[in-house]
A and B are shown apart, each in its own frame.
Chain A
């Protein structure tokens, strides 16, 4: 396998500034524990043992620093603490906490190193440790890359155990009963005589005790909550309209606003005329902001009407105006000078004997378009800036806000909120910076800035386009070689560039899904080519594996069919990683692969590894008089351990719907520098009537804890395309598939 020789050539997600800080110092300093942010605001009688647990005489508060955009991590983070702490489920408050380096994300280290997730060699583990140290030093607190559970799994249980043992020590000091005779249950310490001391009653005593560390964690066989169905803590609020998202909050004296910024993303505003807008009812003020105009009004709708009434003179887009030119840029990037990295070169695919299959593939721009449009409430005063919104990167957010307002990050107070979806859009800062600009103009008055859906589509920072040029070689009924080349602009450079961070090495996301598969091909080459930056792009749920995974698995499927082999059996034969092979075998068994089908039916299988999760899927379609109907989907994923089986199934089914829906129906295309798709009518992905039955199996054979937010998505496109081929003989090599076939 193409393993890495030099770390400096390689990609680190967190950018060059952190690397330049020096690794040796980094490791030394990274051993220090960051300060517990809960200490600063501690009041008399309150106790905190670590950054995740706060107790006073009234209640227990847990801090769940990973943002919740629908994936349910608020609940699961709480469950990890509650499990060890013996809390009564739901009998506590949970907060997202404040931005703090104490909440640095260990999981990011996994994705920041250029090793396959299945590689647990000493070199790979050492590098993960080093990058982990840098992540800690750089205070990278964030939610993304399906890292919430990998990051939290051990440390939040340790936080719970620490709190429990410290509370027992407090109870022991108070009663004279030795700790070994004390038990804990549903938020109480139980004495041998059966009498009980509530945790809340012990808070004041516990505050004076040095937290007790290094308690061994419980064996999973003792778990009461984890691994079993739990009622999500947010489920009642989300079923009664009482959940308050950023878009719903209200702050005293608040006004409503919206913006309209050059729809040619990054283009300037050359001029505007707001005369008509200012005369509209309810409008208080219309004024320019960076590259556009804002309107403040007494109602969001008035503000939206106002910016629609403005006459604009927009400058050109800083990227090719027409979509065709974007594809041409990718076509022209398959040259030596654009080689970003040769990720794999096993055997010699250029000399292997056999019959060849050659094909070219395309994966389009796609919008995140979470249902809650981008928004933020901001209040600017002489003391600083207060902001309420849902975001995935709290510390970066305070830095971005401070830069716009010309203050220090410490003067920014950020209240993170539940998010009405994100899919990666809430990693971005444009809307945040605009909301701050608006509030600066309205100093002293809190302003809620909400995007119209059209503004949200125009400024979505879609998934990057990618293109594949591939050759498969087969002989004697077997796949004997694959040569996969992928070209795309760098999503990490685009995203990091907006934060002022460079990308010191290759972009792993050009190749993700294609390089990191643990098949044991005798001859496999995977080369990634970096096209120039085109439209600004951003991480879209599962990021690079959506394009490169589709490309990789489809050329594999084409070669298997050309060889006359069985698509599932040949994948299993080639697979060189036990948990991945089991995932393939599992979907085979779940779907009764090989069973009788009607002549107009077909099945496709695909395997893509995403964020460390081996994922296999079978899709069955029916060709109904020229209309394709997706009947059923079977999916098996190995996340190490399933912590909440109900939420797990929901997230995976949602990932399948998300992956299939966009593969079938959605793309963003540019004309005159603007995205042509302005609202959901032109980018609707999947609706209920197209939704198949989806059967989910969580596997627990791999040694590491993994997250499941993203991994179910990339297998969707190849498994569907492979199924359509099986049913119709038509091979589709470009998403969205509805360009080539009609769906029911």
Chain B
């Protein structure tokens, strides 16, 4: 549904997106994850035909964005970073305008507006002026605008920013519900958000993809295995050596009584063997714990590792 290849965008001398390539299949929900200034919004603006790329190509719904912008735009619903709402319009009037602008025939506009209002639970405020709504409501109006013409592809730039926790859950459910019929790309800085809604994550940093996978695989892949930490009474060279020889152990480092044991990924259960080895060498195990690297850490790791290279 979406094919991006070697996409590059420079603002003057600053390269915002650098040789980005990825694909999104029909019906997938994909999360764009990256720190501030990673190039998420820039990529989305290019995909939606808002601005052209410096080089490379992007295809949406079978049409080249730069050659067939109108066809592409017909198939996309876009929620930009700042919800593009007119403060002087009523909610339903605005959604009617957005529907008409996206080619919804006149007789279907009312139904389309009602549908979008319902999906985003905006029914109560439908005749209020957008300018009088709170930030979270305005964000929802922006989201309703992206949905109103029932597009095949949805591109949502930080869709849950500014929403309250209850709304966040509702909107995440809404997005999850779109999977299958719609293809969705959403961006976020927040991992739980992406884990909650997306089947696949594309982590980008400084305009480049640093990881791209399903959430489970990403966890195991970058999580360089597990790390156990063990505190012992009598650390000894032979004891440390014995632990190091346990199958699956990648490395052992000792600082005083504290041993940090790194395990190769996918090595099965090793804790018994490690503790047994330590006990056998009479090191006197005092404490043993597993440190699971969380997704947050993976994210930080990915984006900071990149920092060292640059």
Query: Are A and B physically bound partners?
Result: no
